[in-house]
Structure 1
Amino acid sequence: MESQNYKNHRKFYAPHHFVFLPLLIVLDGFGIYKAFNDEENQLSWILFSTVVFLIFHLAIMLRQHYALGLQNRIVRLEFKQRYFEIFGLRSDEVEEKLSFGQIAALRFAYDEEFKVFLEKALKENMTGDQIKKSINTWRADHHRI
């Protein structure tokens, strides 16, 4: 398995990203083409294109909403657990001072760097992207959705 780092840490779900969504785009393009070139059934093709577009929009919005919402909750729980394991304290006060982007970025750092970047995030307001770019030893996450 390839080593994970900042440049390759994003993940795609092939059936969704490379089959289902492109198929909807092609169908919508076909419907729009037919709406302009088939005057006899123009209204039907406009309706077809509208329905396909709405399905496309719904597919993107629902998938993102549910997956990201759940993943964000898990990332926050992981931060709480990790903070407790490292410092032996509850993370409530610290977590309130951090943005979700900072919390998410900290998960890619091993414990020693986690401590350093947590301190920088709190004191210097280091962004999540800055944290990820600064990590020397990337702690891979191959289980993300």
Structure 2
Amino acid sequence: ILFLFARLFALAAQDRVIRLEMRLRLRELLPDDLQDQINEFTPKQMVGLRFAGDAELPALARKVLEENITAATPIKKLVTDWQGDYHRV
């Protein structure tokens, strides 16, 4: 049970870091008109968006908000410049 708890704690901490990283990335890359909407992204939307390259992220983020795409999988399918996360534990 201790191993399971340790694993779940590590994954939860990693998820929090990913969300923080995405908020910082969005703050850096989104145009001014989308800056106020960064906190509107759900964790699932951030999961989908995090695989997009920097060049396509602003347009994809706008599309996600405008079309209210809430699940990660459809967002991932829209990514054309896939940037994999090869460091996840």
Deviating above 2 A after TM superposition, structure 1's stretches of 4 or more consecutive aligned residues are 91-96
* 1:121 lines up with 2:61 in the alignment: no
Q: How do residues 40-119 of structure 1 correspond to structure 2 at under 5 angstroms?
A: 55=1, 59-60=3-4, 62-87=5-30, 93-119=36-62
| TM superposition score normalised by structure 1 | 0.51
- Structure showing greater Rg: 1
Q: Provide the C-alpha distance between the structure 1 equivalents of 2:22 and 2:50, rounded to a whole number of angstroms.
A: 7
- 2:87 partner letter: H
Partners of 1:111 and 1:117 in 2: CA distance = 10
Q: Which has the higher helix share?
A: 1
Gaps of 5+ in 1: 1-54
5+ unaligned residues in a row in structure 2: which ranges?
A: none
Letter in 2 for 1:103: M
> In percent, how many aligned pairs have the same letter?
33
Match of 2:84 in 1: 140
Task: Tell me which amino acid in the other structure corresponds to 2:44.
Answer: G
Return the alpha-carbon distance in structure 1 between the equivalents of residues 63 and 31 of structure 2.
20
Match of 2:74 among 120, 127, 130: 130
Distance 2:45 2:68 in 1: 9
Q: CA deviation at 1:64?
A: 4.6
- Return closer, same or farther for 1:84/1:104 CA change in 2, 3 Å cut-off: same
Q: Shift of residue 95 of structure 1? A: 3.2
SS in 2 for 1:109: coil
Q: Deviations over 1:65-105 (max 9, x none)?
A: 3122111211111112212221476x874233111010111
Q: How many residues align?
A: 87
